Each structure stands twice: as C-alpha cells, then as structure tokens.
Amino acid sequence: MASALETLCGQAYGAKQHHMLGIYLQRSWIVLIICTILLLPLFIFTAPILRLLGQEQSIASMAGTFSLWFIPVIFSLVFSFTFQMYLQSQSKNRIISYLAALSLILHISLSWITVTKLHMGVSGAMGSMVLAMWIPTFGQFAFLLCGGCPDTWTGFSWIAFKDLWPVIRLSLSSGAMVCLEVWYNTILVLLTGHMQNAETEIDALSICLNINGWEMMISLGFLAAAGVRVANELGGGSAKAAKFSIVVVVGESLSIGSVLFVLFLLFRGSLAYVFTEDGEVAREVAVLSPLLAFSILLNSVQPVLSGVAVGAGWQSVVAYVNVTCYYLIGIPLGIVLGYLIGYQVNGIWIGMILGTLVQTLVLVCITWRTNWDKQVTIAQERVNKWLLPKSNVACGGRGTA
C-alpha cells in the first residue's frame, strides 16, 4: 500500500509542489497503521489457519511461531516503506543505502551471536531481525526531524487527517497490485506443501525462491528507479523524458537478467550447496534450476513495468491484469500440470511462469500503446486536485510539530 506514496510524492515533486510530500507521508502513515492493526489477527492465528488449509502440523506450527515474531516487524515496515518512497521520490537514496547497510551488518552480527554462540535458535534469529528492522526506521526519523528534507517536511500537521479518502483509494489499489504479485509466489509454496515428500520439495523450493529473492532485489531497485523517474517526469510535464526513462531502465534490467539467466543455467548443479549439505535437496534444486533461470529472466522486465505503472498511477489497472494472468491462468495451469499430469512442483512452477509471462506481455502492450502526453495531463490534474496552499501546510506544521 505504501507504493501509493511513490505515485503521489513522485508526481508532486516533479511538479515542484514540494510542501505536499510531508503531508502525503503523514496521510500514508495513518492509513497503513490502521490497516496493520486490522491485519493482526492473521498473524496471531497463522498456525490454525494453515492447519485448516491442510498443511502438515510441523510446517503450520513453525509458521505460527515465525508469524508472531513478525508482528513488530510489520509495524516497522509501515514507516520504513513509506520513508523509502518519500525519500526516493526526491532522489535522496544515499541515506536509505547507508541505513540499509547498517541494518544488514547488524542483522548478520546479531544473528551469528544469538544463533551460533548463544544457541537461541529461531528466537535469536527473529529477535535480531526485529532490531535490525527498527534501527533504520529510527535513523530515518532522525534524518527527517534533524532537517534532512527542509523543502518537503514542515512538521507534523493535523491537515494530514483531512482528505484521506483519495489516499486510501490509491493505497488500496497499490496494495491489491503488489499483494496479488507477492501472494502468487506464496501460493507456489502452499501448493507444494500438499505434494508427496513435501519437506524435501519445500526445502528445494525455498532455496530457489531465496535465490530468486536475492536477484529480485536488483529488479526492485530498477522498479523504484522506473517509478520515481516516470512520476517525476509526468509531474514535471515531460512525456518524452518519461518514455526515455522507461526504455533506459528496462534495457539495463533486462541486460543484467540475461547474464544471470545464463549463469544459473551453467551452475545449476552447485547452487544448492551454498544453503544445504543434503544431497537429495541439492538434486531437487538442480532439477528446478532451469525454471529458476527463466523466472529470473522474466523478473528483469516484469517488476520494472510494474514500477512504470506505479509512477503513472495505474495500480488499479495492473491489479486487474494480475488477477487475470496469475489467478485465472497461472495457478490453474500449475495445478493441472502439477497434480493432474503429475509433474509435481515442476508443473506448478511452469504454470506460474506462464502466468507471469502473460502478465509481462500485457504490461508491455499497455506501456507501448499508452499516450504519454495524456498521462502528463492526468498527473498534473491529480497534483492540482489535492494541492494545499504552502502557507496552510506551514501553519499546520508549526502548530503541532
């Protein structure tokens, strides 16, 4: 849902309405905190929910333990994601990188101490994760309050509680778009849990998805770049610059994805031993590696086009595309190939890849056929519609900061 802020802040910053960014940030906090509170029962009752869905007792119980530890994490994400969108829209990426590096070092160090030296197991690993997630958030708060964004932050304001409905609506569209993508991969694990020899299958799949997740971080970086550049250029009134940004970002991401595609095909036999010493799991990873390579290739294009959609404010359109391609094409095909034809986890993943391929082709067509001059007009109308006078924002900030 925080990606709504990427659209709002990016377009307002491009239109030089800098004083609105702080108001949008606070409105997003209000919306996301309420949403997180509403989601708490899902985290509290994860184990019984998974058991009702037919998962094995051991898998459901461990998932329930992890989900309870994630409660403080999801509250930290309310602020870390919104801060990230707010700062990225102003191209203030350095502070995000520094704090992320600090968080990574801290997480690795604390995990090593708590798990290896203190033998605290899951509790140690998750406790270190909670600390590592909150420290960058406090750092971003300090950066903001100490004058890191003087043009866009005028202090806390009661104005943020007004006109929340447009932010809620765009946030819900953004949440639907992103969640439908994330849940798509989660369903892959859920379906695999019903296979024969499920633990080995899930171990192998988890390794592949972990590798895929590492590579996805590169694509998410390009997603952010595409979203920021497109939003800034549309808000600034330049359709030509927006189109040029799309071509450059997609080209760079696809080049990196193509290199990784070849590397994962070449080294598929040795990938698993970075994560496990189990020969059976390693052999299963080697079988899945070609599918992993194709997923990585698609991931070098699809997230970037999603970033373009976020920058232009198309979240609701992409949500409909995701429902159709993922849940009406990809998952049914995966179930047929995996269960009915008997390809097991390979069949499920092939179906999911085909769904992603269709979604990518649809997004390419939408992007190619878009009238970007019209998108400039829409973006500027959105900025002007929600614009508040700078004097009003400043007065509201001084009164409550």
User: Which residues make Cβ contacts (< 8 Å) with residue 139, sequence separation at least 6?
Assistant: 95, 99, 102
pLDDT for the residue 398 = 44
pLDDT for the residue 280 = 78
Q: How many residues does the chain have?
A: 401
The domains of the chain are located at 1-163+389-401, 172-385
Rounded Cα distance between 298 and 380, Å, is 32
Give mean pLDDT in consecutive 10-residue pieces for the chain, a chain of 401 residues.
Answer: 86 85 91 94 93 86 90 93 90 88 88 87 87 90 90 84 84 85 77 66 78 82 87 89 91 90 80 76 82 87 88 88 90 88 83 90 92 89 71 50 36
User: Which residues make Cβ contacts (< 8 Å) with residue 220, sequence separation at least 6?
Assistant: 303
In degrees rounded to 5, what are phi and psi of residue 91? 60, 30
Query: Helices (DSSP H) in 237-322: which residue ranges?
Result: 239-266, 279-299, 302-312, 315-322
User: Which residues make Cβ contacts (< 8 Å) with residue 43, sequence separation at least 6?
Assistant: 67, 68, 70, 71, 74
- Token duo for residue 180: 């439908």
Rounded Cα distance between 185 and 215, Å, is 15
Whole-model pTM over 0.75: yes
Question: Could you tell me which of 394, 390, 399 has the C-alpha nearest to residue 154?
Answer: 394
Rounded Cα distance between 23 and 154, Å, is 9
| Angle, alpha carbons 144-146-149 (nearest 5°) | 45
| Angle, alpha carbons 138-222-331 (nearest 5°) | 100
